[in-house]
Structure 1
Amino acid sequence: MRIVVAIYESAFANHILGRLLAARPGEVAAVLRADSVFPGESLAASVWRLLRQGGLSFALLKTLETWILRLRGVGLPLDRLCRESDVPLIPVDDINTPSNQAHLAAVAPDLLVSLHFNHRIRRACLEIPRLGALNVHGALLPRNRGLFPYFWALARGEGEHGSTLHWMDDDFDTGDVILQAQVPISDQDTVFSLQWRTAERGADLLLEALPQIEAGLSKREAQMDEMATHVSWPRLRDILRLYASGRRYGFWRALTPGAPDDRGRQG
């Protein structure tokens, strides 16, 4: 199977990719890395948009998280992952441009896999892979469609979370479900720990589904749109509400013994 991965780099997305590369050697034909926060926008334009939307505080938290995790060595950098597996790493500002569509078509993938990818992938791209396109989403769809669902699960005091593997259509997180797995929320969970466990379960689902897809045996279960909830960039008031509830972001744990290492094991 020829697989193209579309990814927005983070320790969590990189971890899923690392497991895919290890489990299916030689099958990932290319990795498309989103190089913009919003498709086709410069960094300055993206920062201005986040300021207007009120999401800059959380974006700064995510940036700090990335630095801390790299300092601790949690998650191999994407360029190293690809280099060690001899997989081309292709930066894209907008996956939907004609030139990027042409690059994707030239690879002739059987499957496109989205890992935390932050661009809306239009139908013209989705129709290129022979078998279709998959997304690993860190929530139990149709609840918590959108961005950073693990944060919102804690901020809203939900008792259960999970991961979903679903077919992609040309909207965010609305395609038919293939597999789901629950991730219980404990009293000790932080945003960091819940995100890590959710990514781990997402990798499990992806690796479980690939043989089913190859054999033409994977299921398609339509989402119940009337049950859907939607989440987006947390604002400062949402972060304060999280902390007021007794929860923490938790990325400092990555600097302490016991944090997951770059292969997802406990150190």
Structure 2
Amino acid sequence: MTSPLRIIFMGTPVFALPSLQALLAGPDKVVCAVCRTDSCQGRGRKVCPPPVKTLAEQAGIPVLQPESIRTEEFFETIRAFEPDLMVVVAYGKILPGRLLRLPRFGTINVHGSLLPKYRGAAPIQRALINGETETGVTIMQMDEGIDTGDILLPARLPIDAADTSGSLSGKLARLGGETLLEAVARLKAGQLPAVRQDEAQASYAAMLGKEEGHLDWSRPARELHCLIRGLDPWPSAYSFFDGRRFRFFQPQVVPGDVRELPGAICRADCNGILAATGKDYLLIREIQPEGKKRMCVQTCICGLRLPVGQQFT
């Protein structure tokens, strides 16, 4: 019987929690958690700890929140834990090479795509925006590139037509935790061969910008449908009506021969807002008027007129 590995876990957001939970429930020992510093959130700018910090402290695990991971002090602190393996899940910073190579099993990562597709910061959102029907997670041996390390264990997941980046992120986080536990067990047993990524198949998932959400209604409804879902919940897709910003959620493509101008409101009732696009129609079932909370369209139109024939711009 092999002795438990000493694992250092590096992660910050909610996406990392199932992976940390899986390791805590597994046969190995998480000796330390490393996450980003506390941040100010909400309108009140309240200081909030990262989700990984909260879970680690509840489990009685030491937590490190270094301003920099490239100092000699941090390297020596990590070395003092005598790690056999480091696991990184959405930590948020690029790790230096000597830190990656410090544990005897190196450093592995849970990435939210089927590598080499969608390397980078926004793999889940970009997969939805691009209309993919399948995605997954990849357990990867980390190197100093951006998601360029050898593939250790992939796991596939179909994308549902109603998935948003929020719902898909939750599914992939859970799949990541399950796959990570299997990968660590196989790594210990020497049964996890590394496979080099095919650079010819590689693509990059760039970080999202708020301006990407401004809808171009001349595009086909299918493309807008994918964009809205990919940007839900953040940064969200939007358009303007009468000088006011409206954010859109819960889209549905409605086939039809479009005669109206792109962005024209064709119907606004309890079923949603039907708008013309460059090809087919788009039905919006949830909306967020500027300065208001997200709501169903039926609630919105009770206090706001959206005249048929007028346009979103």
Greater shift in the superposed pair: 165-174 or 228-237 = 228-237
Correspondence for 2:224: 244
In terms of fraction of residues, the more helix-rich structure is 1
Correspondence for 1:104: 78
Q: Secondary structure at the match of 1:34?
A: coil
How far apart are 1:230 and its partner, in Å? 0.7
Correspondence for 2:22: 19
Distance in 1 between the 2:116 and 2:126 partners? 14
Superposed, which structure 2 residues align to 1:173-212 within 5 Å?
173-212=147-186
How far apart are 1:80 and its partner, in Å? 3.3
Distance in 1 between the 2:38 and 2:149 partners? 24
Number of positions where the alignment pairs a residue of Structure 1 with one of Structure 2: 218
Q: Secondary structure at the match of 2:126?
A: helix
How far apart are 1:36 and its partner, in Å? 8.4
TM-score (norm 1): 0.74
Give CA deviations for 1:114-151 in whole Å, capped at 9, x if unaligned: 01011111111112111110000000000000012110
Q: Is contact 1:146-1:172 (8 Å) kept?
A: yes
Give CA deviations for 1:216-255 in whole Å, capped at 9, x if unaligned: 22110000011110122112343345993254315899xx
Q: Is contact 1:166-1:178 (8 Å) kept?
A: yes
Distance in 1 between the 2:123 and 2:213 partners? 13
Correspondence for 2:34: 32
Give the letter aligned to residue 195 of structure 1.
Answer: S
Q: Select which of 135, 157, 161 maps to 2:109.
A: 135
RCO higher in 1 or 2 (8 Å CA, sep ≥ 6)?
1
How far apart are 1:34 and its partner, in Å? 2.1
Q: Select which of 72, 75, 87 maps to 1:113.
A: 87
Q: Secondary structure at the match of 2:35?
A: strand
Correspondence for 1:151: 125
Give the letter aligned to residue 17 of structure 1.
Answer: L
Give the letter aligned to residue 30 of structure 1.
Answer: C
Give the letter aligned to residue 23 of structure 1.
Answer: G
Correspondence for 1:4: 8
Give CA deviations for 1:129-174 in whole Å, capped at 9, x if unaligned: 1111000000000000001211011111111111000100111111
Give the letter aligned to residue 133 of structure 1.
Answer: T
**Residue segments in structure 2 that go unaligned for 5+ positions in a row:** 216-221, 235-248, 251-313
Q: Secondary structure at the match of 2:8?
A: strand
**1:160 and 2:134 are equivalent in the alignment:** yes
How far apart are 1:14 and its partner, in Å? 1.9
TM-score (norm 2): 0.64
Distance in 1 between the 2:9 and 2:120 partners? 19
Distance in 2 between the 1:11 and 1:210 partners? 21
Distance in 2 between the 1:132 and 1:156 partners? 33
Give the letter aligned to residue 245 of structure 1.
Answer: H
Q: Is contact 2:153-2:183 (8 Å) kept?
A: yes
**Residue segments in structure 1 that go unaligned for 5+ positions in a row:** 38-42, 44-62, 71-75, 254-267
Q: Is contact 2:37-2:67 (8 Å) kept?
A: yes
Distance in 2 between the 1:82 and 1:146 partners? 26
In terms of fraction of residues, the more strand-rich structure is 2
Distance in 1 between the 2:129 and 2:152 partners? 27
Q: Is contact 2:136-2:156 (8 Å) kept?
A: yes
- Identical aligned pairs, as a percentage? 30
Distance in 2 between the 1:180 and 1:229 partners? 17
RMSD of Structure 2 on Structure 1 (CA): 2.7
